[in-house]
Amino acid sequence: MLVTTKKMLNDAKNGGYAVGAFNAENAEMVWGIVHAAEELNAPVIIQTTSSTLKYFPPVYFVHMAKAAAESTGMPVALHLDHGANFELAEECIDSGYTSVMIDGSALPFEENIRVTQKVRDYADNFGIPVESELGKIGGKEDDTESGESQYTDPGQAAEFVNRTGISSLAVAIGTAHGIYAKKPVLDFNRTTLIKKTVSVPLVMHGASGLSDEALREGVEKGMNKINFATELRIAFTAAIKAHMAEHPNDFDPKKYLGPARIAVKELVKAKIQVCGSAGKA
């Protein structure tokens, strides 16, 4: 059974750890993520971006995630990552997603609040928690170009959370989507300031390319959900390339996707360990 992110993230907040949220594009990645969680007895979040849902509609991921959760017995949440608009959040909730993010970070403050409220009102009918972003996390993730980052203003965070009624808050503290061209300057002090004003769990995006040390500091400073996408895509594709270089005549997808899903599983296990969520299922 799929669970929502509500209790998962509140438990993480109370326990001082983070739940890993991993982006999937296909069945093999869903398998790798959930089997990593099973091996470490960890709660886990599978998430899909708006552009991934143009590749496969939400209902595909609902059934894949349910199958993975049922076959392992793990608490698995299925989350819409960077929901582009109200309609997509609505479609995901109607299809069986157990958590959604609405990303109004490109909008002015009042408009971001308005679209977040609209999604929250709809989600409330089904008991589905909503994540929203204040500030702007920069970089590029698949088709989602977020450009320059804009740090979250701790002075606005409480008003944003109170007026939107969201369950978790994505904050911009210097992380970016994709792999970093140069070492990012992370402003964890800002996390501490934000935590003083809001009580909902905080979400760190753009975790691919961060050192384990930086990730651990993020957890220590109070990030309760950490998003990984790019590193999974790289690991998956690198395993396929390596397999095909060695066996150029293979044509059975199981032959080259098998090692790819194992590569995802191993990477996810390492990230779960750093997040501190192993053994928390």
Return the active site residues: 81
Q: Are 172 and 133 in contact (CB under 8 A)?
A: yes
Q: Which residues bind ligand 13P (CB under 6 A)?
A: 23, 81-82, 141, 177-178, 205-209, 227-231
Q: Which is nearer to ligand 13P, 58 or 243 (CB)?
A: 58
- Binding segment toward Na ion, per CB under 5 A, in 67-75, 104-112, 194-202, 204-212: 204-212
Burial 209-232 (b: 16+ CB within 10 A, else e): bbeeebbeebbebbbbbbbbbbbb
Cβ at position 49, least distance to Zn ion in Å: 8
218 binds Na ion (CB under 5 A): no
Angle between helices 86-95 and 58-72 (to 10 degrees): 40
154 binds Na ion (CB under 5 A): no
Alpha carbon distance 142, 102 (integer Å): 17
Which of 83, 209, 218, 276: binder of Na ion (CB under 5 A)? 209
In DSSP notation, 120-155 reads: HHHHHTTT--EEEEESB-EEEETTEEEES-B---HH
190 binds Zn ion (CB under 5 A): no
Alpha carbon distance 170, 176 (integer Å): 12
Q: Which is nearer to Na ion, 164 or 175 (CB)?
A: 175
Q: Are 134 and 124 in contact (CB under 8 A)?
A: no
195 binds Zn ion (CB under 5 A): no
- Binding segment toward Na ion, per CB under 5 A, in 50-58, 207-215, 245-253, 263-271: 207-215
Cβ at position 179, least distance to ligand 13P in Å: 7
Q: Which residues bind Zn ion (CB under 5 A)?
A: 205, 227
